[in-house]
Amino acid sequence: MRYLKHVLTLLFISLPLQIVGIFLLPFVLPFVPKDTEVLPRWLRWFDNNHSHLNLRENPTIIDGLAGWPEYRRVRGIYPQAPYNFFKLLWGRYVWLAWRNPTNYFAYAVLGFTWPERVYIVSQSGDLGIGDFTRPGSYKTVIRDLDRNEYWEYYLIYKYKHIPGRCFRLRMGYKIGDPRDGHNYVGRQIQWVFAPSPLHSYKGE
């Protein structure tokens, strides 16, 4: 019963919206101008939202529809590379439908605002697997002063026969390590269900 709310959220809200995005976005993205970094308002739930920032109030400091500048540069995506309609279209589709599905909805509706004080209920596993140099998993559970609990499960599974690729699963709230020294107070934290079956892997 402890995680019933999250199971219901996944089954009846997150997954259905993600599936809608997978099939809807290919028909919308070709009509979004190349220098526009937000979706039409009626598609706001599928829009990209970096951290707690509102897309339309902070248009110059968001990730955009196809990722942050370094992500685009490595992949040769406009404007960090010459304009290519199909490469930009594919980059936006991967970013919005697969890598960050229903991103704005996950922040604004499903997320929570980091309070002044949290307590670590439990931490287990390897919190350093996020650098993609080794397989493993971790789970973090925190609690606020009102006894609301928030958790995250993160998994990296290294394929034996697919070099340079791994399966990544991130589920729950994007908590990471609350002891890492960053000031999260007032920041909107995303609820996410993001399986990535062919994520890049940097380890041996």
Short-list 77, 91, 100, CA closest to 30: 91
176 dihedral zone (left: phi>0; alpha: psi -120 to 50; beta): left
Q: Check whether residue 21 and residue 104 sit in a common domain.
A: yes
Instruction: Name the pLDDT band for 51 (thresholds 50, 70, 90).
Output: very low
- Tell me, what's the pLDDT at 2? 61
Residue-wise pLDDT for 94-107, tens only, equals 999 988 889 888 88
Mean pLDDT for the stretch of residues 146-160? 93
Containing structural domain, residue 63:
4-108
**Exposure on the CB side of residue 156, measured as CA atoms within 13 A:** 21
Say which DSSP state 91 is in.
H
Instruction: Name the pLDDT band for 60 (thresholds 50, 70, 90).
Output: very low
Instruction: Name the pLDDT band for 31 (thresholds 50, 70, 90).
Output: very high
Among the candidates 93, 108, 123, a domain finishes at 108
Q: Check whether residue 117 and residue 182 sit in a common domain.
A: yes
Among the candidates 86, 108, 130, a domain finishes at 108
Among the candidates 91, 108, 125, a domain finishes at 108
3-state helix, strand, coil in the chain (%, to 5): 30, 25, 45
Mean pLDDT for the stretch of residues 23-39? 93
Short-list 182, 198, 34, 25, CA closest to 114: 182
Short-list 51, 34, 135, CA closest to 89: 34
Residue-wise pLDDT for 118-132, tens only, equals 999 999 999 889 889
- Tell me, what's the pLDDT at 10? 80
Q: Check whether residue 104 and residue 122 sit in a common domain.
A: no
Measured CA to CA, the distance from residue 64 to residue 29 in angstroms comes to 13
- Tell me, what's the pLDDT at 41? 87
Mean pLDDT across the chain, nearest whole number? 87
Measured CA to CA, the distance from residue 153 to residue 52 in angstroms comes to 21
CA distances from 67 to 46, 72, 82, 119, 130 (A): 14, 6, 16, 32, 18
Count structural domains, the chain.
2
Residue-wise pLDDT for 176-195, tens only, equals 888 876 778 888 888 988 88
